[in-house]
Amino acid sequence: MSYRLVVTEKPSVAQSIAKVLKVRNRKEGYLVGNGYFITWCVGHLVGLADAKEYDEKYEKWDLKDLPILPDPWKQAVNSGKLKQFHTVKALMSRLDVDVIICATDAGREGELIFRNVYHYSGCRIPFVRLWISSMEDSAISEGFRNLQPSQNYDALYQSALARSHADWLVGINATRLYTCRYHTLLRIGRVQTPVLAMLTERAEQIEHFQKTPYWNVHLTAEGLTVHREKIQSENEAEELSAKCRNQDLKIVSVEKKQKSTVQPRLYDLTSLQRDANRYFGYTAQQTLDAVQSLYEKKLCTYPRTDSQYLTEDMRDTVQNLIRICAQLGLFPSSTDFVPDIDRCINSKKVSDHHALLPTREIYTTDLSTLPEPETNILLQIAMRLLCSTAPVHMYEETVITAKCAEETFSCKGKTVLSSGWKMIEADFRKKAGKSMKMEEEAEPFSSLPKVSENQVLHNVSPEISRHFTSPPKPYTEDTLLSAMENAGKEDFDKDTEKKGLGTPATRAGIIESLVSSGYVKRKGKSLIPTTEGKNLISIVPVPFKSPSMTADWENALLQIEKRTLSADTFIAGITQMVRDLVTSTPSPTAEQLQLFSSSVKTKDSVGVCPWCGSDVYDGKSSYYCSSRECSFCLWKKNKFLECLKQPMTKKLAQELLKKGRIHSKKLYSQRTGKMFEADLVLTRTVDKEGNPTSSIQLDFGRSVRK
């Protein structure tokens, strides 16, 4: 009997596919039945090897060894995932498997996850691609009926591979270069550092902003108030006020115009994250985690999309979805209009995945069983579908121009004619209730009393108000995501597809990395660069902190994906930049070294570094190795442990450093909502930029107990 092997990215996806394919027998690390093996990768099983795998001398960070330019590139199994890798490799080596189905996430990173394992295993079995935008049973069935040739995604893989190589080259070489030059760990990233530069530039604009006063003069007569704004001199404002006091106000013109506020587009991931930050105060990562969970629960479509449109063949599906969302009873205003689906349809603007949508499962799901963030995000997606197809918001704008003592004043008013899509957003705000962190936006101007042209109003009463120019606002995750998305776009033609800094799938991780590394801190909704972050940007050369340059790189990756640029050409450019960086970076001045000088006070050791044997100290945000040539650290804010409701305490850090693992009986499962026990194992892995990093893995087998 021959089998088909399905390789997914996560166990939960494997379970969903197994249900559709009627594969019921669970084994260690895979499922089998009905002519299928189904296994999973649990993220990146295989990644780029650490520098020391090319030469043992690279284990010690030394300037004379730079640049490190692998040729050929090596890969390695990520520590802590060996067992699952061997399971996948064994299945790929079976003689009774005649075809493999790549069912990892349908995107650049998902393609890389599968192909790294496929190639590292030495597999030669032909494979095809499952490419779907929803985990609904019907979508999975349709996807298996329309499996795609693997060759269709070769360019996507080349783009992903080029991205990983570029991140490794910049991350390894720049981080080692600056760490050795400045004798303290300084992390440089291909995308992370330009984002930090944007935050630093904004902070400097705020810091150096000098506010200047200005004055407004307001005249009130018979219930109407008109204004003269932005007067630069207080004396001028007082003279104008005195000139108009008790005079007549003549209406020169009353202009009325009907205007509209068009419906918002459907959500892509970035716009969803931006609005969730405004509505609920969620970080980009919190929103990504919530929407990814909703996707795996079959409640929304593929989340990491960069499109805000739908394809022509989705018209009937969307019509049905709108009806389902309206029937939920959560958006009563949605029943008052006939949806306009045409404005959401544009097949030319859909590449890999269409815009984010709820699925039909929303109708049969008890939303009260979902965690609050998931409920809020799901309703937000449903609300946007209804808003996007609702009528425009119509209003009448009135502009009154008047004269007093030969001086001109004016005012604006607004009357809503038809609320349109804004009524549905109001329903959403009401439903979200206490979760809503954003106050309802006040109208910029309200209705005015009725007056007519040439009408004269008597006995003017003037008033002066003093104001100051405002500095730029600190970036929030909302505004930073927008800035990342639009970085460098002014350098491209209007019709050119542009990618900005990072991708929808990576931007949340970039922000979290800056925070966890101590270069950025959160203050309310604001993202503020720390002193360490500002100091780092002050010494990094322009090409490695330029948002527009990095946006150029991201667009080059898009060209590789579209087969208009070779990956070799792109990597050659990155390699030359790295060479230039190493040869042209001068030795730091005494003043620059002082920026990164460490405190000389004696510190208590938490334990011994498992990488180099030096002391590990208790820092502000991490437990870090005291050796300036070693990058080992344990972050106190560990997302993986937070999900398990296990804080990274000093005692836990000490035990991990001493034994390498610790048994815990009080770990929380987000899937079941129950506590479980397992070993927490300290492992060494490599991040996306090629830097060695420590991580915590679960082991349900052998454990070391007290």
Inform me whether the pLDDT recorded for 38 exceeds 60: yes
- Domain with 563 in it: what CATH number? 1.10.460.10
Q: Which amino acid belongs to residue 307?
A: S
Inform me whether the pLDDT recorded for 106 exceeds 50: yes
Asked whether the beta carbons of 12 and 19 are under 8 A apart, the reply is: no
Note whether 482 and 417 are same-domain residues. Answer: no
User: Residue 458 burial by CB count (10 A; 0-12/13-18/19+): exposed, middle or buried?
Assistant: exposed
Asked whether the beta carbons of 312 and 370 are under 8 A apart, the reply is: no
Whether 655 maps to a domain, the answer reads yes
Whether 203 maps to a domain, the answer reads yes
Confidence of residue 601 (pLDDT cuts 50, 70, 90): very low
Inform me whether the pLDDT recorded for 531 exceeds 80: yes
- Domain with 400 in it: what CATH number? 2.70.20.10
What average pLDDT does this structure show over 7-24?
93
Of residues 369, 299, 282, the one with CA closest to residue 673 = 369
The C-alpha atoms of residue 672 and residue 227 are separated, in whole angstroms, by 61
Element (H, E) at 477: helix 477-486
Q: Which amino acid belongs to residue 244?
A: C
Inform me whether the pLDDT recorded for 541 exceeds 50: yes
Inform me whether the pLDDT recorded for 706 exceeds 60: no
Q: Quick one: pLDDT at residue 404? A: 96
Whether 199 maps to a domain, the answer reads yes
Of residues 552, 547, 554, the one with CA closest to residue 202 = 547
Three-class DSSP category at 575: helix
Inform me whether the pLDDT recorded for 494 exceeds 60: no
Q: Quick one: pLDDT at residue 629? A: 66
Confidence of residue 665 (pLDDT cuts 50, 70, 90): confident
> φ and ψ at 250, to 5 degrees?
-100, 130
Inform me whether the pLDDT recorded for 548 exceeds 90: no
What average pLDDT does this structure show over 651-655?
89
Note whether 358 and 479 are same-domain residues. Answer: no
Q: Quick one: pLDDT at residue 255? A: 96
Q: Quick one: pLDDT at residue 599? A: 36
The string of pLDDT tens digits covering residues 125-176 is 999 999 998 888 999 999 999 999 999 999 999 999 999 999 999 999 999 9
Total domains present in the chain: 5
The string of pLDDT tens digits covering residues 45-67 is 999 999 999 999 998 899 999 99
What average pLDDT does this structure show over 526-555?
91
Confidence of residue 543 (pLDDT cuts 50, 70, 90): confident
Which residue's structure tokens are 């969620």? Answer: 282
- Domain with 76 in it: what CATH number? 3.40.50.140
Q: Quick one: pLDDT at residue 600? A: 34
Inform me whether the pLDDT recorded for 504 exceeds 60: yes
Q: Quick one: pLDDT at residue 606? A: 87
Note whether 104 and 151 are same-domain residues. Answer: yes
Neighbours of 651 (CB within 10 A): 10
Of residues 217, 213, 215, the one with CA closest to residue 242 = 217
Note whether 311 and 442 are same-domain residues. Answer: no
The string of pLDDT tens digits covering residues 384-436 is 999 999 999 999 999 999 999 999 999 999 999 999 999 999 989 888 776 66
Q: Quick one: pLDDT at residue 705? A: 36
The C-alpha atoms of residue 86 and residue 98 are separated, in whole angstroms, by 19
Through-space distance between the first and last CA atoms of the chain, rounded to whole angstroms:
49
Whether 657 maps to a domain, the answer reads yes
Whether 559 maps to a domain, the answer reads yes
Helix, strand, coil percentages, rounded to 5, for the chain: 40, 20, 35
The string of pLDDT tens digits covering residues 175-209 is 999 999 988 889 999 899 999 999 999 999 999 99
Note whether 624 and 648 are same-domain residues. Answer: yes
The C-alpha atoms of residue 23 and residue 38 are separated, in whole angstroms, by 8
What average pLDDT does this structure show over 667-684?
84
Whether 706 maps to a domain, the answer reads no
Note whether 88 and 145 are same-domain residues. Answer: yes
Q: Quick one: pLDDT at residue 623? A: 86
Note whether 155 and 169 are same-domain residues. Answer: no
Note whether 511 and 641 are same-domain residues. Answer: no
The C-alpha atoms of residue 339 and residue 351 are separated, in whole angstroms, by 25
Q: Quick one: pLDDT at residue 442? A: 52
Note whether 87 and 72 are same-domain residues. Answer: yes
Element (H, E) at 237: helix 234-244
Whether 600 maps to a domain, the answer reads no
Q: Quick one: pLDDT at residue 499? A: 64
Last residue of a domain, one of 423, 440, 468: 468
Inform me whether the pLDDT recorded for 602 exceeds 70: no
The string of pLDDT tens digits covering residues 308-358 is 999 988 998 899 999 998 888 888 887 778 889 999 999 888 877 899 999
Q: Which amino acid belongs to residue 301?
A: T
The C-alpha atoms of residue 664 and residue 141 are separated, in whole angstroms, by 40
DSSP 160-187: HHHHHHHHHHHHHHHHHHHHHHHTS---
In this structure, of 96-105, 212-221, 589-598, the range with the lowest mean pLDDT score is 589-598
Inform me whether the pLDDT recorded for 81 exceeds 90: no
Asked whether the beta carbons of 479 and 473 are under 8 A apart, the reply is: yes
Note whether 375 and 294 are same-domain residues. Answer: yes
pTM listed for this prediction = 0.80
> φ and ψ at 239, to 5 degrees?
-65, -40
Three-class DSSP category at 697: strand
Q: Which amino acid belongs to residue 630?
A: C
Label residue 372 left, alpha or beta by phi (over 0 means left) and psi (-120 to 50 means alpha): alpha
Inform me whether the pLDDT recorded for 688 exceeds 80: no
Q: What percent of the chain has pLDDT over 70?
A: 94
Provide the edge-to-edge strand list for the sheet that holds 30-33: 25-27, 30-33, 36-40, 3-8, 97-103, 127-129, 148-149
Whether 705 maps to a domain, the answer reads no
Inform me whether the pLDDT recorded for 305 exceeds 60: yes
Where in the sequence is the domain holding 670, given as residue range(s)?
605-699
Mean pLDDT, the chain, rounded, equals 89
Q: Quick one: pLDDT at residue 626? A: 78
Q: Quick one: pLDDT at residue 573? A: 94
Three-class DSSP category at 480: helix
Inform me whether the pLDDT recorded for 685 exceeds 80: no
Confidence of residue 290 (pLDDT cuts 50, 70, 90): very high
| β-bridge partners, 605 | 617
Q: Active-site residues: which are they?
A: 302
Asked whether the beta carbons of 477 and 511 are under 8 A apart, the reply is: yes
Q: Quick one: pLDDT at residue 467? A: 96
The C-alpha atoms of residue 258 and residue 403 are separated, in whole angstroms, by 25
Last residue of a domain, one of 430, 451, 468: 468
Note whether 561 and 620 are same-domain residues. Answer: no
Q: What is the DSSP letter of 49?
A: P
Asked whether the beta carbons of 191 and 510 are under 8 A apart, the reply is: yes
Note whether 28 and 117 are same-domain residues. Answer: yes
Residues 6+ apart with CB under 8 A from 348: none
The string of pLDDT tens digits covering residues 216-272 is 999 999 999 999 999 999 999 999 999 999 999 999 999 999 999 999 999 999 999
Which residue's structure tokens are 């038809």? Answer: 418
Which CA distances in Å does 557 have to 195, 233, 306, 554? Answer: 18, 53, 15, 5
The C-alpha atoms of residue 402 and residue 221 are separated, in whole angstroms, by 11
Last residue of a domain, one of 551, 569, 595: 595
Q: Quick one: pLDDT at residue 489? A: 62
The C-alpha atoms of residue 184 and residue 627 are separated, in whole angstroms, by 8
Inform me whether the pLDDT recorded for 481 exceeds 50: yes
Q: Quick one: pLDDT at residue 484? A: 93
Which CA distances in Å does 231 have to 119, 214, 216? Answer: 69, 5, 6
